[in-house]
């Protein structure tokens, strides 16, 4: 298969390292300095240092030539630049099947990536999300990983999953595109919450309770947006939640840990040096939950801490003061 990966951040680079030995793989990024460094040093020193690029990986410096022979395009750009990337694909006048690895809701519109792609590429396009419990660093190292590939066409999902699947990167086809995207987006908010919980020293009991109730919030929103309840017990639901809430490589968890110390968000993000999608997602999900009348108290607490400057301890205290409810009602 001829693959083109758009975006050379951590994820784009990790996927390029993973797929290049088995597929003709082209990597393109808009950052000219990154392109030059990758060509001369065979390493992405800016966004993914310490990992050598396979000699077979083609580093492209022109967008149109990068996608001209692609059988499949993988968008590995942050969500903030996702719509612009899709529009650039459309402007190229080449109808290419497309997958993406970003997670979240678009700022101001609260739209999921598949809704953006449907708007920009039209009803005949083939598209899907590659998502699930995975850190870029571990994928690049070849450590065992299992993810989900959900698409708007079941046959496309199966064929793409089969082509990209390997013993170390196991890919399972899925037809619940809305569900896997909600799971992948909202788990980042819960990872910030868990980081705050751990940073405040509340212990393992509290973390387990928070993650469990967080999964209930994810499922409530996901079902309301057309997802299947079973999806949230799978890789893109519980699996991704567990990894992001407990793994030390999680950027969103690190944001929460820093918030618990009293650091301000701009300083935290500057120190992080990478995008933490949960920061913008919290605002959009909290607003969407209010509009739909969905009870999401953890999400609302995280949004208040991030965007209303509510101290972490005050937000947690408000959560703990809520009246108890029936668990079976989620």
Q: Give the span between the Cα atoms of 49 and 39, in whole angstroms.
A: 14
Say whether 187 is catalytic: yes
Q: Which of 96, 141, 187, 325 is catalytic?
A: 187
Distances (CA, A) of 84 to 28, 90, 116, 131, 304: 15, 10, 10, 21, 29
* C-beta separation of 186 from 281 below 8 A: yes
Q: Give the span between the Cα atoms of 61 and 38, in whole angstroms.
A: 11
- One DSSP character per residue, 122-157 reads -TT--EEEEESS--HHHHHTT--EEEEEEESSHHHH
* 25 three-class SS: strand
- In the DSSP assignment, the letter for residue 44 is E
Distances (CA, A) of 266 to 86, 128, 298, 309: 29, 33, 22, 12
* C-beta separation of 133 from 243 below 8 A: yes
106's tokens: 């678009």
Question: For the purposes of burial, counting CB atoms within 10 Å of the CB of 49, is it exposed (0-12), middle (13-18) or buried (19 or more)?
Answer: exposed
Q: Give the span between the Cα atoms of 77 and 103, in whole angstroms.
A: 10
Q: What ranges in 25-176 are assigned the alpha helix state H?
A: 32-41, 63-68, 82-91, 113-121, 136-140, 154-164
Q: Give the number of C-alpha atoms closer than 13 A to the C-alpha of residue 240, restricted to the C-beta side.
A: 27
The residues annotated as belonging to the active site are: 187
């Amino acid at each position: 298969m001829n693959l083109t990966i758009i975006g050379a951040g951590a994820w784009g680079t990790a996927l390029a390292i993973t797929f290049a030995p088995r597929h003709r793989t082209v990597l393109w990024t808009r950052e000219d300095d990154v392109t030059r460094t990758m060509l001369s040093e065979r390493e992405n020193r800016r966004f993914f240092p310490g990992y050598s690029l396979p000699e077979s990986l083609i580093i492209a410096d022109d967008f149109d030539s990068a996608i001209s022979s692609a059988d499949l395009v993988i968008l590995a750009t942050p969500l903030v630049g996702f719509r612009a990337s899709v529009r650039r694909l459309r402007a190229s006048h080449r109808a290419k099947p497309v997958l993406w690895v970003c997670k979240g809701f678009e700022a101001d519109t609260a739209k999921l990536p598949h809704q953006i792609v449907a708007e920009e590429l039209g009803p005949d396009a083939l598209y899907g999300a590659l998502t699930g419990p995975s850190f870029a660093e571990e994928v690049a190292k070849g450590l065992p990983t299992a993810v989900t590939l959900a698409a708007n066409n079941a046959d496309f999902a199966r064929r793409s999953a089969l082509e990209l699947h390997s013993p170390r990167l196991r890919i399972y086809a899925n037809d619940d595109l809305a569900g896997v995207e909600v799971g992948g987006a909202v788990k980042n908010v819960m990872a910030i919450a868990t980081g705050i919980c751990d940073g405040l020293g509340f212990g393992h009991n509290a973390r387990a309770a928070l993650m469990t109730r967080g999964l209930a919030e994810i499922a409530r929103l996901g079902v309301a947006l057309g997802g299947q309840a079973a999806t949230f017990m799978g890789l893109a639901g519980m699996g991704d939640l567990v990894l992001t809430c407990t793994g030390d490589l999680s950027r969103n968890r690190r944001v929460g840990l820093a918030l618990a110390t009293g650091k301000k968000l701009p300083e935290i993000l500057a120190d992080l040096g990478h995008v933490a999608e949960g920061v913008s997602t919290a605002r959009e999900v909290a607003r969407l939950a209010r509009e739909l009348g969905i009870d999401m108290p953890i999400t609302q607490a995280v949004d208040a801490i991030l965007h209303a400057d509510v101290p972490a301890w005050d937000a947690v205290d408000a959560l703990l003061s809520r009246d108890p409810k029936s668990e079976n009602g989620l």
